[in-house]
Amino acid sequence: MEVIIKSDKLEAGKLGAKIIARLIRDKAKAVLGLATGSTPLALYKELVRMHREESLSFKNVTTFNLDEYVGLDPSHPCSFYSEMHKNLFSQLDLAKGASHLPDGMAQDLPASCAAYEAAIKVAGGIDLQLLGIGHDGHLAFNEPGSSLASRTRLKTLSQKTIKANSRFFGSEDKVPRHVVTMGLGTIMEARQCVLLAFGRDKAEAVRDMIEGPVSASCPGSVLQFHEKTIVLLDPEAAGKLKRKQYYLDVYAGKPAWQLWD
């Protein structure tokens, strides 16, 4: 894992957007894996800016989102479908039908999950998967205890996640209990992962993910086995890392050809 600590979440979001822009400019038909929640918002804003001001085109890009709530109509303002349309898709030149989210309204969820996995394969696999991390270490909605080899499937949210996500719904009882999420095995097949985490309240999960043992108790720790993962942090989220100074030294000493600017 490459750990990069930026001065704040805006700077980290800008760097994440540069990494994505490089991929889109280098690869004719890039496939992006996308995340929802608060964490990627600065990065999405920067991608929209690059699209408007630096002619970064998404017309050949395909996207697959990590997860969706079960039983929430896509038109619901808190569905991940709505969130993605508001914050990103409606502001880019993506082709019609190029953006995919798991179907939380499917009658036959196992078949729909298998079809989602198949669609990722048909698209050529995910080139870059964007990720956040939950306070309990979850990746996508793979809660602690999830199989490290899991595929897209139905999951039950933990109380901690229900509490954290109630800020979007107004109260805990309005948060759906079930979700459809890519599995950890699905995420691990992405050619590259970029995970962002900000704020003091993520510091423990970040420490366990990067420096703890690889364990289903911290699903994010599976990324220690990923060949190409970049973790972008602000100083608060990096606050509990034992090797913090080392990560700062590595980034400060990088040769120019390894940077994205």
Nearest-approach distance from CB 250 to ligand F6R, in angstroms: 25
Q: Which residues contact 188 (CB under 8 A, 6 or more apart)?
A: 222, 223, 225, 226
* Burial status of residue 62 (CB atoms within 10 A of its CB: 0-12, 13-18, 19 or more): buried
Min. distance of Cβ 128 from ligand F6R in angstroms?
15
Q: What is d(CA 126, CA 122) in angstroms, rounded to the nearest whole number?
A: 10
Q: Which of 144, 250 has the CB closer to ligand F6R?
A: 144
Residue 67 a catalytic site member: yes
Residue 138 binds to ligand F6R (criterion: CB under 6 A) = yes
Q: Which two tokens stand for residue 39?
A: 């964490």
- Binding range to ligand F6R, per CB under 6 A, among 43-51, 137-145, 204-212, 230-238: 137-145
Cβ–Cβ under 8 Å, residues 139 and 131 = yes
Among 13, 16, 132, 137, binds ligand F6R (CB under 6 A): 132
Respond yes or no: is residue 173 known to be catalytic. no
Is 233 a binding residue for ligand F6R by CB under 6 A? The answer is no
Which sign, positive or negative, has the C-alpha torsion 167, 173, 175, 177?
positive
Is 143 noted as a catalytic residue in this protein? yes
**Nearer Cβ to ligand F6R (58/141):** 141
| From candidates 3, 4, 5, 67, binder to ligand F6R by CB under 6 A | 67
Q: If binding is defined by CB under 6 A, does position 104 make contact with ligand F6R?
A: no
Q: Could you confirm whether 138 is annotated as catalytic?
A: yes
Residue 243 token pair: 């090797």
DSSP H or E segment with residue 140: none
Sign of CA dihedral 224, 226, 230, 231: negative
- Exactly one of 13, 37, 104, 137 binds ligand F6R (CB under 6 A); that residue is 37
What stretches of 27-88 show up as alpha helix (H) in DSSP? 41-53, 80-87
**3-class secondary-structure state, position 232:** strand
Stretch that binds ligand F6R, among 52-60, 130-138, 208-216, 250-258 (CB under 6 A): 130-138
Q: Which is nearer to ligand F6R, 38 or 156 (CB)?
A: 38
- Return d(Cα 5, Cα 247) in angstroms, integer: 8
* Contacting range for ligand F6R; rule: CB under 6 A; set: 23-31, 34-42, 104-112, 117-125: 34-42
- Of 13, 134, 137, 183, the one binding ligand F6R (CB under 6 A) is 134
Least distance to ligand F6R, CB of residue 61, Å: 18
Residue of 186, 206, 187 whose CA lies nearest to 196: 206
What's the min distance (Å) between Cβ of 11 and ligand F6R?
Answer: 17
The active-site residue out of 46, 51, 67, 117 is 67
CA distance 121 to 115: 10
Q: H-type helices in 54-189, by residue range? A: 80-87, 109-122, 159-169, 184-188
Is 205 an interacting residue with respect to ligand F6R (CB under 6 A)?
no
**Residues forming the site for ligand F6R (CB under 6 A):** 35-39, 66-67, 132, 134, 138-141
The residues annotated with a catalytic role in the active site are 67, 136, 138, 143
